[in-house]
Amino acid sequence: MLACIILISWLLLIWLYFLWSRRRYYWAAWQLRGPIGLPFIGMGLQMMKPETFLQYMAGLSYKYKAPFISWMGTDCFLYVNDPQSVEQVFNSTHCTNKSDFYRFISSAIGDGLFTSSSPRWQKHRRLINPAFGRQILCNFLPIFNTEAEVLLNKLEVEGVQQCKGVEIYLILKKIVLEAACQTTMGKKMNFQHDGSMAIFEAYSGITEVCVKRMLSPWLYPELIYRWSQLFGRQQKVVSVLFGFVEQLLQPNVAVVGVANKQQEQEQHQQQQQQQPRSKSKSIFIEQVREHVEIGQQMSWQDVRDEANVIIAATFETTSTALYFTILCLAMHPEYQEKLHAELKAELPAQGDIAIEQLERLSYTEMAINEAMRLFAPVPMVLRRAGQDLLLRRSDGEFLIPRGTQIGIDIYNMQRDERVWGYLASSYNPDAHFGPEAPKAHAFAFVPFTKGLRMCIGYRYALLLMKLLLAKIFRSYRISTDARLEELRVKGNISLKLEQYPLCRVERRT
Ligand code: HEM
């Protein structure tokens, strides 16, 4: 009996100590009141469905005054979706590290730039930055132009000649991954070949697994997770991805299976032709190799981790943003015609596009920005307060304790009527990005985020997207039966749709 009382007293003391050590979080939660959820799992049950997560958060942000504090598992979670607070978080030098929730990504695919914390992040960012500078990007234009021709050919054969609805998203993913492999790893692939499907499935599989785990606090403890079905799925997709990236890192190895000898020879010839263009000293893989072999500033494991992230970050986000731009234009023929008028005025009917021509395409850029506003390719980013943060809200200043997880809801902020006015949910490039458009807050539109941790590849993405869109809409008209208000998005690391509508392709005369 006495032993029992002592044990219970000890447990009670430990519990009280636990609560006492977290008193600053409770005080912040008391001031910035949001939904509390259940003990130990917080809002896990309500948030666990990626299909409804973003819509659920939008509802909460109207019910409670954002920014508000909520709980995920036992973690204190600050939810932010207004430009003023977003500015404070992105500009704070104490909020550059990613949230602890990203440990589920790094434990699956390695600790690359997207997830790593200082000082590792700072060092790697400094080493990798030069691989995405403006001058180097200009060298990628011949590759982008070649891939654009492959894309047009696909649209011509599948869309125009076969006269059927086209699943453009998959075509785009293959083109963008092909461009990413050539421009970052110096490898010419052959993704139009069916053997590559497993790689695309693995990429979407890994993001689904990581998000599912982030939204399921009961799977946070490693011991429980390793017994779950989700872990089994993670192991499968990770082995495909690691195998793929490992082969990309090998010098001169063809990665995607080739059907026959002739195809193999053709691929070899193509590789030879690509060598002088893509194997420049300045591309990502050559630079990091130098950091390993000469500067000894990185290990081979670092290179693997960074390559995993660079490939995934390039192709998942860029193909998503491209797809939504094409879909929005297909749903809005009036803006597609305006875009075509610009392309007709600025570009010849055929041939490669030069950087100077791309820089003149202002309406194309507006069309892309408007699609990224409405369909933020990365809907939410998560940070962690490394030090106490003083957050200013209209009704006062609030202390956000060190260690608080911060969720910046880009998706809902960029379609919030309080920020963008009554046309917030419509696709209208002129109303939001045209010369006459009212000036939005500098942090109301942040698809690549802003501040020190901003996307390293934003120039790359804009260049590739502009070029591919210019090529498509210069020669083709795209249409669809889908309607904007019927699209159902899914919260993921990059935005997904529950169903991808087919598009019709028609050649312009
Ligand atoms: C439309 C296309 C793209 C979008 C919308 C996008 C968006 C983002 C976002 C929101 C982040 C997180 C930033 C933060 O946490 O503050 C990010 C990080 C990152 N992106 Fe992109 N991205 C795109 C294309 C690319 C491309 C083409 C590359 C590579 C060439 C790339 C490489 C990265 C990397 C390495 C990071 C981590 C950077 C760091 O933490 O230092 N992204 N991106």
Alpha carbons within 13 A on the beta-carbon side of 165 = 11
Strand pairing class (489-490; 496-497) = antiparallel
User: Whose CA is closest to atom 40 on ligand 1?
Assistant: 114
For the CA of 464, the nearest atom of ligand 1: 27
For the CA of 450, the nearest atom of ligand 1: 16
Q: Which two tokens stand for residue 122?
A: 């700072």
Alpha carbons within 13 A on the beta-carbon side of 171 = 23
Beta bridge partners of 407: 79, 382
Q: Which amino acid is located at 201 in the chain?
A: E
Q: How far is the CA of 333 from the centre of ligand 1 (A)?
A: 30
Give SS3 for 504.
Answer: strand
For residues 105, 107, 111, 115, the Cα torsion angle rounded to the nearest 10 degrees is 30
Q: How far is the CA of 298 from the centre of ligand 1 (A)?
A: 21
Closest CA to 108 of 294, 232, 18, 251: 232
Rounded to whole angstroms, the Cα distance separating 190 from 407 reads 38
Instruction: Tell me whether residue 328 is annotated as binding.
Output: no
User: Whose CA is closest to atom 30 on ligand 1?
Assistant: 457
Beta bridge partners of 24: none
User: How far is the CA of 27 from the CAs of 14, 86, 94, 99, in angstroms?
Assistant: 20, 22, 20, 21
**Going by CATH, does the domain composed of 26-101+377-413 fall within 3.30.429.10?**
no
Are 241 and 308 spatial neighbours (Cβ–Cβ below 8 Å)?
yes
Closest CA to 131 of 275, 353, 289: 289
Where in the chain are the domains? 26-101+377-413
Handedness of CA 368, 375, 135, 139 (dihedral sign): negative
Query: Does residue 314 have its Cβ closer than 6 Å to ligand 1?
Result: yes
Rounded to whole angstroms, the Cα distance separating 81 from 498 reads 24
Q: How far is the CA of 288 from the centre of ligand 1 (A)?
A: 18
Closest CA to 99 of 206, 222, 214, 209: 214
User: Whose CA is closest to atom 2 on ligand 1?
Assistant: 318
For residue 103, count CB atoms less than 10 angstroms from its CB and return exposed for 0-12, middle for 13-18, buried for 19 or more: middle
Rounded to whole angstroms, the Cα distance separating 175 from 151 reads 7
Query: Does residue 317 have its Cβ closer than 6 Å to ligand 1?
Result: yes
Q: What is the pTM of this model?
A: 0.92
pLDDT digits (tens, 9 = 90+) for 433-479: 999 999 999 999 999 999 999 999 999 999 999 999 999 999 999 99
Q: In what order do the strands lie in the sheet with 75-80?
A: 68-72, 75-80, 405-409, 380-384
Output the tens digit of pLDDT for each of the chain's 509 residues: 888 899 999 999 999 988 898 899 999 989 988 888 888 788 877 777 788 889 999 999 888 888 999 998 888 999 999 999 999 999 999 999 999 989 999 988 899 999 999 999 999 999 999 999 888 999 999 999 999 999 999 999 998 888 889 999 999 999 999 999 999 999 888 887 666 888 989 998 999 999 999 988 899 999 999 999 999 999 999 999 999 999 888 875 444 443 344 444 455 455 544 444 444 458 999 999 889 988 789 999 999 999 999 999 998 999 999 999 999 999 999 999 999 999 999 999 889 999 999 999 999 999 999 999 999 999 999 999 999 999 998 888 999 999 999 999 999 999 999 999 999 999 999 999 999 999 999 999 999 999 999 999 999 999 999 999 999 999 999 999 999 999 999 988 999 999 999 999 999 97
Q: Which amino acid is located at 458 in the chain?
A: Y
Query: Does residue 411 have its Cβ closer than 6 Å to ligand 1?
Result: no
